[in-house]
Amino acid sequence: MTNRLAEAKSLYLRKHAENPIDWWPWCDEALATAKAQNKPIFLSIGYSSCHWCTVMEGEAFSDPAIAEYMNANFIPIKVDREERPDLDSIYMQALQMMSGQGGWPLNAFLSPDDLVPFYAGTYFPVDPRYGRPGFLQVLQAIRRYYDTEKQDLRDRKAVILESLLTSAVLKLEGETQAQDRELLRQGWETSTGIVTPNQYGNSFPMIPYAELALRGTRLSLPGSTWERESKYDAKEICTQRGLDLALGGIYDHVGGGFHRYTVDPTWTVPHFEKMLYDNGQIVEYLANLWSAGVQEPAFKRAIAGTVEWLKREMTAPEGYFYAAQDADSFTTTEEAEPEEGAFYVWNYSELEQLLTPEELTELQQAFTVTANGNFEGKNVLQRRQAGELSETIETALKKLFVARYGNTPESLTIFPPARNNQEAKTSNWPGRIPSVTDTKMIVAWNSLMISGLARAYAVFRQPSYLELATTAANFILNNQFVNGRFHRLNYENQPTVLAQSEDYAFFIKALLDLHQASPLIGNEFSVTQYSPSFWLERAIALQEEFDEYLWSVELGGYFNTPSDASQDLIVRERSYADNATPSANGVAIANLVRLALLTDNLHYLDLAEQGLKAFRSVMSRAAQACPSLFAALDWYSNCTLIRTTTEQIYSLNSQYLPSTVFAVASSLPEGSVGLVCQGLKCLPAAESVEQMLQQVRQSQTRG
């Protein structure tokens, strides 16, 4: 017997289709039913590759007694946060207000008349344990409270709603150029401290923070004020973050691609899901590190391996990228539940069988491989040192690839996804049973990958990187507009859900990144017929729609959702905080500066200024929350345009010039090689490449 979610397009929702709970999707009918029956709403938000979401689905949400009580006393609504990040953002903020921490699954109880939350939590076990009450006890207590404590309920909701509304309206602050310079320095110092290695807790990529730290290295040169006043060696810290990513167990050294995070401070044992958004950002960061002069072979290898994984396992036949792969997988077809990391880890006895004694010895010297293992008696591969891997090690890793996938890396160009547990258990896999892949297309996440590929192409000049990026971008341009409006998701060639701010911001950035990479094409990449102007024109058109439907005229900055798709929200937010992905407003404001430079349209610069003014108060008091806004401030303060020849762009674009855009000059003054413009002021025409570079470096550090 299935419930309403059996008809859902979301893999996460369909995973709950056989629960005895009478789930609704988030829709007008569900909200109206709750109001008509005066039943509190139980809102449960998660995503398909979330481990504890999966645990709760198999425990509490499958329990008959819990389901009977839930169905009689609540309207249960299930939401995929990847479909509706706007809902997730609001109710996650409420959870954090109530408990001081957040996470998924996000389980909140809402009043049916106004959708304001009055209680929230994350994972609830079936029976009391881990210091948490049993879920049935929670439900009974919540319903009793809702029925008997009406005045307290009203007071509680009023406080929560006031807090949500207050956080949505930020104080406007004036500024001076000197204050901006100091604000930028403080933001850079904060982010550099956040990515400094520590000895405690989980290890997350934290790429928005690492990118800001790397940006600031050009401003903290020896003898500078930044260098004198900083507690950190930013270049060393940024390099270490790259090494932790490329050498650590967070990277899949056999199959390529990065896992979500590690559960330790040593970057050893990952939480094994692979998210597209992490991989796009990490590829861009490692390429930027390389272009900044940290040319570590492990960075190049990790990027190449990630692109191979992307092509093999995460690219749809239509050319877009899938969303994620689960952490868990089955070891046999008879298992009832999958095991975390089973697709990726190695028994020592298995390594002894697969490898020659010489290969195993070298593998142990290069990786953290022992008889006892480092994860539940098994081995997660983590490199011990940087540099090139020997031919023997590469041969050994290829043998492990064959053991996992059932074929060699050279011959396995496509590894089709297991779209659900049933497919995983019943398909005839030549190697191990793979994790389930969530095959939906999310514009924002695809955009992060497109940007990473475009930057990697600019740095490493691998045509396949740009080909992948171009194909994915064209899928979005050709398929995600319905009746002239941009849409966020695509399920099996069906676009759905109006785009949100992160979709607009990240895709406009991706189009601009393709525009910047396209002059490099020359004759080496013949697949695309698109000129740089093609990408710029699309970025301009999409920016116009973004401004029309999501720009806040009164407050500045961009709302999370369009003006015509916000009716079911208790508050209309403007996201400024970075989390696993960059802040939409941070990226959007940086885009506006880039567009102003490339089009000479100062309206974009006016919007960027208004956007920064809207968020300066939060930048001043909570620099740790918003590194992408500081990156936008860097763009605004140090924006530089280089007008030169295609040949010079080809040479310069592989360098690390983080607040610079390039434009092909139709004509240059006689005897010059290029023009460098600092915001609204152009410098004398450079008569040599050395002079032009000197002007660029000076322009990049003037803010």
Instruction: Kindly report, residue by residue over 90-113, the tens digit of the pLDDT.
Output: 998 888 888 877 888 999 999 999
Averaged confidence pLDDT in the chain:
92
* Helix, coil or strand: residue 261: strand
**Mean pLDDT across the stretch 409-415?**
95
Instruction: Give the whole-number percent of the chain exceeding pLDDT 90.
Output: 74
Give yes or no for a contact between 667 and 648, defined as CB atoms under 8 angstroms apart: no
pLDDT at 168 (0 to 100): 74
**Mean pLDDT across the stretch 261-268?**
96
**Is pLDDT at 133 greater than 90 in this prediction?**
no
Which of 435, 434, 414 shows the shortest CA–CA distance to 314? 414
Q: What is the pLDDT of residues 437-472, one digit of tens each?
A: 999 999 999 999 999 999 999 999 999 999 999 999
402 CB-side CA count, 13 A: 13
Give the pLDDT band (50/70/90) at residue 525: very low
pLDDT at 697 (0 to 100): 86
- The phi, psi pair for 299, rounded to 5°, reads -65, -45
β pairing state of 117-121 and 106-110: antiparallel
pLDDT at 527 (0 to 100): 43
**Mean pLDDT across the stretch 311-334?**
96
| pLDDT, greater one: 524 or 509 | 509
Where b means 16+ CB within 10 Å and e means fewer, 540-562 reads bebbebbbebbbbeebbbbbbbb
The CA distance from 60 to 253, in Å, is 36
For the range 477-484, what are the long-range contacts, defined as Cβ-Cβ under 8 Å and sequence gap of 24 or more?
A: 477/538, 479/318, 480/443
pLDDT at 178 (0 to 100): 66
Q: What is the pLDDT of residues 196-208, one digit of tens each?
A: 998 889 999 999 9
The CA distance from 44 to 16, in Å, is 11
Give the pLDDT band (50/70/90) at residue 171: low
Where b means 16+ CB within 10 Å and e means fewer, 200-224 reads eeebbbbbbbbbbbbbbbbbbeeee
Give the pLDDT band (50/70/90) at residue 647: confident
Burial of residue 233 (CB within 10 Å: 0-12, 13-18, 19+) is: middle
pLDDT at 294 (0 to 100): 97
**Is pLDDT at 325 greater than 90 in this prediction?**
yes
The CA distance from 275 to 438, in Å, is 10
pLDDT at 220 (0 to 100): 81
Chain centre to alpha carbon of residue 297: 25
Q: What is the pLDDT of residues 547-574, one digit of tens each?
A: 999 999 999 999 999 988 878 888 899 9
pTM of the model: 0.90
**Is pLDDT at 126 greater than 60 in this prediction?**
yes
pLDDT at 173 (0 to 100): 60
Which of 263, 303, 261 shows the shortest CA–CA distance to 282? 303
* Helix, coil or strand: residue 538: helix
Which of 650, 644, 656, 648 shows the shortest CA–CA distance to 685? 644
Give yes or no for a contact between 82 and 152, defined as CB atoms under 8 angstroms apart: no
The tokens describing 21, both together, are 């709970």
Give the pLDDT band (50/70/90) at residue 529: low
Which residues have C-beta within 8 Å of that of residue 515, sequence separation ≥ 6?
A: 532, 535, 536, 539, 598
Give yes or no for a contact between 95 and 120, defined as CB atoms under 8 angstroms apart: yes
The tokens describing 437, both together, are 């892949």
The CA distance from 23 to 350, in Å, is 44
Q: What is the pLDDT of residues 179-194, one digit of tens each?
A: 888 999 999 999 999 9
Residue type (1 letter), 621: R
The CA distance from 128 to 55, in Å, is 15
Rg for the chain (alpha carbons), in Å?
26
**Is pLDDT at 524 greater than 50 in this prediction?**
no
Residue count (the chain): 703
* Helix, coil or strand: residue 279: helix
The tokens describing 446, both together, are 């695809």
| pLDDT, greater one: 354 or 163 | 354
